Amino acid sequence: MDLIEKQQVQAIVGLHTWEEVSLVAEVGGQARIPILSLADSTPKWATDRWPFLVQASPSRYLQMNAVAAIVGSWQWRWITVIYEDTDSAATDIIPCLVDALKQVGSEIGYLLALPPFTVNSSSPLSGELEGLKGRQSRVFVLHSSLSMAAHLFETANELGMMEEGYVWIITDRTTNLIHSMNSATISSMQGILGVRSYFSQSGPRFQGFYLRFREKFHSLYPKEDNHEPGIFALQAYDAVWSVALAMETAPSSKKGLIQPFLERIAISDFHGLNSRIQFNRRSLAPQRIFQIINVIGKSYRELGFWFEGSGFSKTTNEKSTYSRQLQVLGQVLWPGGPWSVPRGWSLPTSQKPLRIGVPQHGTFKQFVNVTYDGSHYSVTGFSIEVFNATLEHLKYHLTYELIPYSGNFDSLVEQVHLKVRDLFSFVS
């Protein structure tokens, strides 16, 4: 903090992770220095806790509605979510996805939390992914950093989890940087669907920035193949522009007059490179448009867009037509190369069957009748026929076993409470 004061720092712009934000915001608050965060997910309470924190990138929580809309388009009922275990993901992103999935009749069947990825990380991904292979769901949603995603998909490819029958959906934490991935990593991600933050590339202001960015980037990194500015470059530029405009109009920033400078930043109102920059309680309006991409070959194909409150569309102009089904965007290439839509589930390899207790000595044999031929039990009757007919309409395979029980009905019900049985048959 002493160093900040000695260097007469007037604002700090950056911070792409919640961990960085929480650390710097605490120090910045003590030094009374405005902190403009570009993190992808910052808890809503953060700006209340740290009065000098400004959320200078739009919240992207609404992308979970886009993910759920993709899942709902093909009525996949159970999905597996894999995420890096950070505070922001656990406390905000996952609950948003849970609520969004409920709206399309789907649920999270399993959550896999991975420790934050580091360069020297020795996370046993092979063991974790092997465990997922043994489960029934074949629809996976990944919310992680770019480095974690690259490591995970290389491992998944080795384990045969990028083949036909699998579905992978990645969020913008990875997709926003997918243009920077090398060809080896892209080759292990074939058929993945991604949700990416959208920004318009039209308008003279963006075009001017675009040309300057490419020229500068090429001069600094001549060996890099991709010189295109991404969403983070646009957000950083607009955040710095907010500070610059505030400095032009704010009073002198001598000690004791920092608060007016913060207020000038908070009332910024101008047209940025991508959208209007206007803060509400020191936070930008949430991102409401996302692009849907499909990884194919050495790069990816832009399928179309998803609009909050409207659905999917191929265009972003005023004449756009919308649909709740992603199929309106055209054909999707899935992992393994097929164009046919994966059913989203497979026969489990290690999943425990559902244990269903049935009364061995029921009063009404026409509903449930248990017989024993000396080697195994046979369970028949109208209730069993209805149960089997219902299973045929499920979107997934249900592994189960019928277990005869010789006690009375109250005792059978108690078996569920004791977790000896998962369900019991009801015969009236």
Tell me the average pLDDT across 308-318.
Answer: 93
Mean pLDDT of the region 17-22 = 84
Which residues, other chains included, contact 212 with Cβ-Cβ below 8 Å and sequence gap of 6+? none
- Rounded to the nearest integer, the mean pLDDT of the chain is 85
Q: Which of 5-14, 191-200, 378-387 has the lowest mean pLDDT?
A: 5-14
pLDDT digits (tens, 9 = 90+) for 39-48: 877 787 888 8
Instruction: Find the farthest-apart pair of alpha carbons in the chain and give their distance in angstroms, rounded.
Output: 95
pLDDT at 89: 62
Task: Give the H/E segment covering residue 237.
Answer: helix 231-249
- Confidence label for 428 from pLDDT (cuts 50, 70 and 90): very low
pLDDT band at residue 358 using 50, 70 and 90 as cut-offs = confident
Residue 234 has pLDDT above 80, yes or no: yes
Helix (H) or strand (E) holding 192: none
Report how far residue 196's alpha carbon sits from residue 189's, in angstroms, rounded to the nearest whole number: 15
Output the pLDDT for position 2. Answer: 53
d(CA 84, CA 18): 12
**Residue 25 contacts residue 53 (beta carbons within 8 Å):** yes
Residue 278 backbone class (left: φ over 0; alpha: ψ -120 to 50; beta: rest): beta
Q: What percent of the chain has pLDDT over 90?
A: 48
- Taking phi over 0 as left and psi of -120 to 50 as alpha, with beta for the rest, 181 belongs to beta
| Cα dist from 108 to 62, 70, 164, 227, whole Å | 17, 14, 22, 38
Supply the pLDDT for residue 390.
Answer: 85
Q: What is the pLDDT of residues 266-300, one digit of tens each?
A: 999 999 998 889 999 899 999 999 999 999 988 89
Q: What is the pLDDT of residues 315-344, one digit of tens each?
A: 998 888 999 999 999 999 999 987 889 989
pLDDT tens profile 84-118: 887 666 677 899 999 999 999 999 999 999 988 77
Residue 72 in this model has a pLDDT that exceeds 50: yes
Which domains occur in the chain, in start order?
Answer: 2-57+230-278 (3.40.50.2300), 63-198+288-329 (3.40.50.2300), 354-424 (no CATH)
